[in-house]
Structures are given as structure tokens and as C-alpha cells.
Amino acid sequence: MELIFLGTGGAWGLPEHRCPCATCRHLRAIGESRTRTSLWLDGPARLLIDPGPDLRAQLMREDLPRPDAVLITHEHGDHYLGLDELLCFRRAVPPGDWQPIPVYATASAWEQIEPRFGYLLGSLLEKRLAVPGEELIGSPFGPALAARPVKTYHGAMAKGAVGYVLTLATDQGPLRLGYTSDLLRVEAPQGFAGLDLLVCQSHFVHEPQENRANHLSLQRALPLLAAWRPKRVYLAHLSCQDFVPGDEPANAILKKYAPGDPLKDPKGEPYPVPRDQASWQALAQRVFADQGLGMPVTVAHDGLRVPLP
């Protein structure tokens, strides 16, 4: 069994096309990139979580088969616009051999998704409801694999936002995995507590003065992680939206967010803003050590495969 990070970037990926900021310039120079965040679980069943606009390339890169079910966290395009790409699986079998793929989302999320992709329902996809706080019902969920949506707040334009906690049956006992997806806060405070592995959003390093995007910063995540105490943490949904000191005039562009009270090291100095995978990983390990968080932290990258017991 394993967890595959199909993508690990924000809504526009990294680097953003023709973005003049220091982060995107650096990523283009070194040839490093991130597609929109999406996950694949190869466990008791094959789950695709958040099929975004990059799904075709992600499926081909990892050579993945048809999923047994799809979980959607909310109704923003970078988390569901790849649903149409799943047609490749139906087009490759005789018509009589096809059974629709179950797709779970909250009722509020379906209000936005169904008008766009209603033509796929009943033929390619089967619409199913995810109710926050309640276990998902229907195959492939059962004794070997359970999934529970956790209600989150991601702003007025994502009223259907949830994360998911998955419980897998293994020879060593239950294994509990969590995915926060996009959020500013959790409406069920203990919803992600006590997990074996947590995939946590880290859209910014420093909490912005005004968090218009309603995304979780690493700074804001730290007290949550201290309370939840997962055994392992993976950071995803990374962006280039932090101010980079001295990067003018790029700091004035729309997507940049000025920090409030920046996250500081024990000497009182703001942590630097990372610009690539290596510097993100070094920063995460440094911050976790400085904060006394004992669990291992990994900054996920596209194509990262995490073996599960």
C-alpha cells in the first residue's frame, strides 16, 4: 500500500506562467515545478482525492488505473476540474463492461460541481454525498477502508469544504490518514487529532496581515499540529504568495500577501521564505525543531510515493 502525491502546488501550480516574482523566476531557472495538489491512495481500494486540472498528466506520469472512488474536498476548480479526464477509462472498455465511478462531495460542493459536470453523472460517474462527521457509505468503503469528512472553513466561496480522515485495515492494526485540503480553520477542532499520517496545507510560510485567500499558513498550522500530534506530517499545496524581502516590484502584485507578525526563530528573526523543494524541506525541519514538534515533517513533491504498512 502507498500514498502518491500526484501534485503538491497551489491553484495555479508552480511556477506560475510568466510570474515575475523571485520564487517563480528561481523555479523556472532550476527547472522545478509543482502541479495542482491531488492525492492517490493505493490501499484496500484505489482512491483519487481532488482530481484537478492537471489530472491527465498526473495519471500518465504515474501510469495509474481506474480509481475505485473519487473524493472531492470542495468546489474550487483546482480540486475537481479534472473529472472529465476520467473518461479515458470508460472509452477504453466495451460499453457493457463499464460501471460508473463513485464520486463523493458535500451537498454544497455538488451545487457547484453538478451544473458543470452533470453530463457525466450516471454514465461515467455516480454522485454520492459526503456528510461531515459521518462515515462514507457504499463500496469501496467498509471494514477494510473507512472515510470520514471533517468540516473545515475555506471562505464564503467554498461552503462545502471538508478534509478527510481515512482508516485502513492493516496486519498491524488500523492506520489513520488525514488530508486537511484547503482551509483557514477546522470547524471540528479534534477532527484531525491522533493520526498516523497527516497531509497538511502550507500555502504560505507567514500568516498574512489579511488572509483573503482563506488558506492555511505554516505559521497558523503550528498550534494545530501541536494539538493534533500526528505521527508524521506531509506539507502540500505550496504557493509563491509570501512576500520575499527585497523582491520589488513583484511584492506589489495582486497575489502577494504582506505578512502580519512573521513567524520568527528563537533569536527573534523572521524565517526566510523558501523558493524550492530543498529550501522548503530545510525550513520545515528547522521550524518543527524550534517549535518542539517531535514528529517527522516532509515537504511533499510531485510524484512522492509514501509506503504504508
* Residue 301 to residue 235: CA distance in whole angstroms: 9
Domain-by-domain residue ranges, the chain? 2-307
Give the torsion sign (CA, 205, 188, 103, 175): positive
Mean pLDDT across 76-91? 98
Cell 502550507 identifies what position? 202
Note the pLDDT of residue 95: 86
Note the pLDDT of residue 309: 87
Nearest to 194 by CA among 220, 222, 228, 165: 228
Which cell numbers in the block locate residue 134?
A: 459521518
Please write the tens of the pLDDT for every residue from 96-113. Answer: 999 999 999 999 999 999
Yes or no: say if 25 and 59 are a contact pair by the CB < 8 Å rule: no
Yes or no: say if 13 and 37 are a contact pair by the CB < 8 Å rule: no
Mean pLDDT across 265-272? 98
Cell 478534509 identifies what position? 163
Please write the tens of the pLDDT for every residue from 138-188. Answer: 999 999 999 999 999 999 999 999 999 999 999 999 999 999 999 999 999
Secondary structure element (H or E) that encloses residue 153, with its range = strand 145-153
Note the pLDDT of residue 44: 97
Please write the tens of the pLDDT for every residue from 184-234. Answer: 999 998 999 999 999 999 999 999 999 999 999 999 999 999 999 999 999
Yes or no: say if 204 and 244 are a contact pair by the CB < 8 Å rule: no
Residue 16, CA distances (Å) to 10, 36, 85, 254, 278 in order: 10, 11, 22, 13, 19
What CATH number labels 2-307?
Answer: 3.60.15.10
286: CB partners within 8 A, 6+ apart: 265, 271
Yes or no: say if 42 and 2 are a contact pair by the CB < 8 Å rule: yes
Phi, psi for residue 184 in degrees, rounded to 5 = -105, -35
* Residue 300 to residue 110: CA distance in whole angstroms: 29
Describe the crossing of helices 218-228 and 277-290 by its angle, rounded to 10 degrees.
Answer: 50
For the entire predicted model, the pTM comes to 0.98
